[in-house]
Amino acid sequence: MDSVPLCAEGLMMKTQIKGLILCFSIATLFITAKEGISADPSALSVSGSVLSKNKCKFQTKASALDYGNLDPASSVDVTAVTTLGFVCNGSTPSATFLMTQDNGLNATGPGNNRMQHTSILTEFLPYSLALSPSSATVPKGLTQTLTVTGTVNFVDYQSATFGSYSDTVVITITP
């Protein structure tokens, strides 16, 4: 004779029928309870970060890029250059870094840097920045130089309101 799950074999006939009914009732209760459960799922975000074996740091904590006097009579783009020193250290012989910049305090979008007039806060002067090198692999422990080149195009300052303009850009080195 086949057994029903949760029932013991070798019982007397009367006991077998009662056991079969009991097992059937338990199975029905389990199926009914399982179908009546409503699920309330929850999402679990899993993340982690592997730390770099290297760390690059700027030796220069602040710097200035000064365009000087922008003369609308000159009809030329004005370029200014400054440098920042940095060094990479760590447990490997070399480090690969990446330089990034934010868009400054007055940008209209990514890559649309603008200096703001220092007294007429509704006046802006667009400019661009380039970082060189923006990424490289360098030997550890040796001072490296980041060159920051900025340009103000003549078409942007030829009819700008006279006065001083400024902005602040944060340059980040990773790792």
Span 75-99, pLDDT tens digits = 999 999 999 999 999 888 988 999 9
Residue 124, judged by CB atoms within 10 A of its CB (0-12, 13-18, 19+), counts as buried
Q: Quote the tokens at residue 24.
A: 């059937």
Over 80-141, what HEC string results? EEEEEEEEEEECCCEEEEEEEECCCCCCCCCCCCEEEECCCCCCEEECEEEEECCEEEEECC
Domain boundaries, the chain: 1-37, 54-174
Determine contact, residues 120/84, Cβ cutoff 8 Å. no
Span 149-158, pLDDT tens digits = 999 999 999 9
CATH number, span 54-174 = 2.60.40.1090
Determine contact, residues 138/54, Cβ cutoff 8 Å. no
